[in-house]
Amino acid sequence: LENKNNKTSAAAAAASSRAVMKKQRKRRTVSMGVIGGTAGLLVGGPLGAVAVGFGTAVITKRIGKCKERQAIREKIQNAKKATTRALTEIQEQQQQQQQQQEEEVE
């Protein structure tokens, strides 16, 4: 039961951070598209603005998605490690309690 709750909380944390990362990615994509479009306009005129702006936006979006996936994977791995550590500590405490009870009986 505890393990299931930890998975749920880790998934909820990942989902909430995913929404924040998505908003940041969208803002970054638009801003980089505008910057690329401006640079393209200066170098290649209107066609250069469209081509460079679109290309910059697409590349920025792909890079952002890769970074998001990596960050989410790291969060999930950290949550798993924390859960494993907590469960190990609980098991050790239970073993110590059992040993103490056995010593009291003897």
Has residue 2 got a pLDDT over 70?
no
12-50: pLDDT as tens digits: 766 778 889 999 999 999 999 999 999 999 999 999 999
Q: How far apart are CA 44 and CA 41, in angstroms?
A: 5
Q: What is the pLDDT of residue 100?
A: 87
Name the nearest CA neighbour of 16 among 72, 67, 61, 60.
72
CA dihedral 56, 37, 23, 62 (to 10 degrees): -10
Position 90 scores a pLDDT of 94
Asked if pLDDT for residue 8 goes beyond 80, the answer is no
17 and 72 in contact (C-beta within 8 Å)? yes
Over residues 57-100, the pLDDT tens digits come to 999 999 999 999 999 899 889 999 999 999 999 999 999 998 88
Residues in the chain: 106
Q: Report whether 18 contacts 65 (CB < 8 A).
A: no
Q: Which residues contact 22 (CB under 8 A, 6 or more apart)?
A: 68
When computed from its CA atoms, the radius of gyration of the chain, rounded to whole angstroms, is: 25
